């Protein structure tokens, strides 16, 4: 079964006009991403599988699964991204859920999944639209403590890959998230009552509320560039350590990584590397995977260590 793997950092700030701290870095990242998009279109996948996080836009503490597969999905309007439905093949999604349940993996099911920029940015940047290809959306909880362990994430990714290996299809697998970054995402235990209630109950925010949240992130990014603010800077050494093991296929190296270590060194957003690990395990299960680091650079105005890894089986 032909499989293509693309793991890429996303930052909603890459969709804005924040000033570049180092000339040419943004253009270089987008050139590489465009090459990945061209390779995807040439590959012409019959199914695109997206492992992605959520940023308290679609999943909330009222009912927070560790993993969820959507049989239908709708993009949200965060960061002024165009909303709309994804083209989800319902039967494949249901079959995948049943396969995972048969493997004793209790993945949740959504018949109306809400997906935010963690899913929509890679779809727009790599495929050109939310519904150009059949898409299987897979959520991994990366923002809401407690999170699944890395070992559990690997087990989950492999089980998804085992299911995909039964399909006689060209499949692109995307891991969307990471690397080191520390955005001003609210933490439940540190939030005032009104913010905590939003994290628990959830609601479709108004455009005014979205704009206020996003303006806070832009301010935090500008402060980070000049060495101020509450956000940890992205950590180049942590990123390189992760990428070295990742590209070498040593995914079990991450089993010993703790959330406390990630919070302390790489930042709250770095938990999203779980999506890369699951995507790589899925691709490995479908065939012999050869991975290659195509891009890495710290981009402080995007708050993030930006990386792209591709692979083919």
Cβ-contact 178, 307 below 8 angstroms = yes
User: Count of CB atoms within 10 A of residue 82's CB?
Assistant: 10
Closest CA to 98 of 143, 160, 173, 147: 160
Catalytic annotation present for 181? yes
- Measure the CA–CA gap between 313 and 294, rounded to whole angstroms: 17
| Region for residue 249 given its phi and psi (left: phi exceeds 0; alpha: psi -120 to 50; beta: otherwise) | left
Q: Among the options 55, 181, 271, 297, which is catalytic?
A: 181
Strands (E), 251-303: 290-299
Give the CA distances from residue 291 to residues 7, 52, 92, 226, in Å, rounded to whole numbers and listed in that order. 10, 19, 27, 35
What single DSSP character describes residue 84? E
26 included as an active-site residue: no
* 3-class secondary-structure state, position 48: strand
Active-site entry in 117, 240, 271, 297: 117
Both structure tokens of 197: 């209630």
DSSP H or E stretch at residue 175: strand 171-176
Q: Say whether the peptide bond before residue 121 is cis (omega within 30 degrees of 0).
A: no
Catalytic residue positions, numbered: 117, 181
């Amino acid at each position: 079964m032909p499989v293509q793997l693309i793991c890429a950092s996303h930052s909603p700030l890459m969709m804005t006009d924040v000033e570049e701290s180092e000339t040419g870095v943004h253009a270089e990242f987008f050139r590489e991403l465009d090459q990945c998009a061209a390779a995807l279109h040439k590959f012409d996948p019959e199914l695109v599988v997206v492992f992605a996080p959520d940023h308290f836009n679609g999943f909330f503490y009222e009912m927070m699964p560790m993993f969820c597969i959507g049989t239908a999905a709708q993009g949200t309007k965060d960061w002024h991204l165009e909303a709309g439905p994804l083209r989800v093949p319902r039967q494949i999604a249901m079959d995948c859920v049943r396969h995972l349940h048969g493997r004793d993996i209790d993945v949740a099911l959504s018949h109306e999944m809400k997906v935010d920029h963690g899913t929509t940015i890679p779809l727009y940047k790599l495929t050109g639209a939310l519904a150009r290809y059949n898409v299987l959306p897979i959520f991994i909880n990366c923002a809401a403590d407690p999170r699944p362990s890395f070992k559990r994430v690997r087990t989950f990714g492999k089980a998804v890959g085992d299911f995909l290996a039964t399909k006689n299809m060209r499949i692109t697998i995307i891991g969307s998230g990471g690397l080191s970054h520390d955005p001003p995402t609210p933490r439940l235990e540190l939030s005032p009552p009104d913010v905590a209630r939003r994290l628990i109950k959830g609601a479709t925010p108004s455009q005014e509320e979205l704009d206020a949240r996003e303006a806070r992130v832009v301010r935090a990014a500008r402060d980070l560039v000049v060495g101020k603010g509450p956000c940890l800077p992205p950590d180049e050494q942590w990123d390189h350590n992760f990428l070295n093991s990742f590209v070498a296929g040593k995914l079990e190296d991450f089993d010993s990584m703790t959330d406390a270590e990630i919070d302390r060194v790489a930042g709250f957003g770095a938990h999203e590397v779980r999506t890369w690990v699951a995507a790589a395990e899925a691709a490995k299960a479908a065939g012999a995977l050869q991975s290659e680091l195509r891009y890495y650079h710290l981009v402080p105005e995007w708050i993030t260590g930006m990386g792209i890894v591709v692979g083919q089986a």
